[in-house]
Amino acid sequence: MASHSKLQQGLVLGMSTFAFTMCFMVWMMFAILGVPIKALLSLNETQFGLLVATPVLTGSLIRLPLGMLTDKLGGRIVFFVLMMVCVLPIYFISHATEYWHFLVLGLFVGLAGGSFSVGIAYVAKWFDKKNQGFAMGIFGAGNAGAAVTKFLAPAIIAAFSWQMVPKVYSAIMFITALLFWFLTSEDKSHRVSSSVTMADQLAALKDPAVWRYCQYYSIVFGGYVALSLWMTKYYVSEYGFDLKTAALLAACFSLPGGVLRAVGGWLSDKYGAHSVTWWVLWVSWICLFIMSYPQTDFTIQTVNGPETFHIGLTPTVFTVLLFIIGVAWAFGKASVFKYISDDYPHNIGVISGIVGLVGGLGGFVLPIMFGALVDLTGIRSSSFMLLYGVVWISLIWMYFTEVRTSSVLDRQSAAQSTDQS
């Protein structure tokens, strides 16, 4: 490890984080683009949900094969090719006119979302064990690309038109790929002839604990992706904001949800993955319960005649709750991976690949379900009712598998970890 100069390490980490931020920005572009496209094609809520979720499907499914390719060929070439492959499909979105055009191109654009598994493996190998967690935390903050889209895309739409966004994004992707290629380095010793097959990776699903981590991650990451995609439109339709303001308010969720991941890593190291995840779920549960309450008018017969009252979240209260959830989920994303590194030290790549895949699929399924629920019930806050139910399941599952069975063991391990630290 000594052979790696500080400059090389810094450039690898810096450029990988920048490239991942740009990839995530592109991956989430339909969060903003979807709103004018929905109006253009007069889509219902379910169709809108499918449109914004399509890139998440390929971005999640490609994670496992990309992780294996990175082991075999090295992260630099895989990351570069991945970004180059996305350039043209992004550009073509500006010429799409039919619903199916957007869906097909969305599948290709989604490949950018797979960059996480390439970058994380590439970055980790440049740092020693002591600094690995911190380096991975910094790289993971590239999730904030979801917020970058919310600042950049509405500004482009306001200045030009929605067709301009894919053109600008494809240019950004092309330049990022070139910068990445010329500024990063490669170390051939990092390549491993991966003997792990797809079957081995899927065999990890026989372990019930892995399913539990998948369930947690589908909330803290899947839910994060789903709400990042959904919130701009929610603000437009629920509170009547224009696209720019709505995107800005939605960024109050996306930004902390990405940037604070490193803090979650530090908290998990200090207090343990279980405690952090337990609190994350409780905080989410309380916030989602309040956010689920629809705008309500009710009339009471009083001595002076009927009196009508209105109960509902104001945009301010709603945004504060959304911000709290963003922070909680940022911590949760890190604590789930802490569980994995604690429980599966020799198998971390395989397990994190599976958990990342299933968590990502949560981000694909949820927006479609959000849309279907709004179409079925006519209640916009039904999306939060769904998330509330999912968090409920996790809390009950966690209580029966971890809290009840291992309270004694936890006290022992907590005592040991405080001794060590």
> Residue 20 has what pLDDT?
93
Q: Write the pLDDT tens digit of every residue in 132-148.
A: 767 777 888 888 888 88
The answer to the question of residue 191 being in a domain is no
Structure tokens that stand for 341 in this block: 């590194």
Contact (CB, 8 A) for 352 and 282:
no
CATH number, position 42: 1.20.1250.20
| 188 in a structural domain | no
Is 211 within a domain?
yes
The residues, any chain, with a CB within 8 Å of residue 318's CB and separated by 6 or more, are: 239, 291
Residue 271 one-letter amino acid: Y
> Is residue 177 a part of any domain in this protein?
yes
Q: Residue 163, class by beta-carbon neighbours within 10 Å (0-12 exposed, 13-18 middle, 19+ buried)?
A: middle
- In 10 A of CB 296, how many CB atoms? 9
How many domains does one find in the chain? 1
Q: Is 4 exposed, middle or buried (0-12, 13-18, 19+ CB in 10 A)?
A: middle
Distance from the first to the final alpha carbon of the chain: 25
Percent over 90 (pLDDT), the chain: 32
Residue whose C-alpha is closest to residue 421's, from 271, 206, 249? 271
- 337 inside domain: yes
Percent pLDDT > 70 in the chain is: 90
User: What is the pLDDT, as a whole number, of residue 1?
Assistant: 44
Write the DSSP string, 222-273.
IHHHHHHHHHHHHHHHHH---HHHHHHHHHHHHHHHHHTHHHHHHHHHHH-H
Pick 188 or 292 by higher pLDDT.
Answer: 292
Gap between the Cα atoms of 181 and 176, Å rounded: 9
Q: pLDDT for 89-122, tens place per residue?
A: 999 999 988 999 999 999 999 999 888 888 887 8
Task: With respect to residue 1, please indicate whether it lies within any of the assigned structural domains.
Answer: no
Q: What is the pLDDT of residues 191-236, one digit of tens each?
A: 665 566 667 667 777 888 888 888 889 999 899 889 988 998 899 9
Range of the domain at 281: 6-183+196-420
| Cβ neighbours, 10 Å, residue 197 | 10
Q: Is residue 189 part of a domain?
A: no
List the structure tokens of 187. 């170390």
pLDDT at 409 over 60: no
Q: Does residue 190 fall inside a structural domain?
A: no
Report which of 28, 54, 57 is spatially closest to residue 43, judged by C-alpha positions: 54
Which residue would you say has higher pLDDT here, 74 or 32?
32
pLDDT higher than threshold 90 for residue 5: no
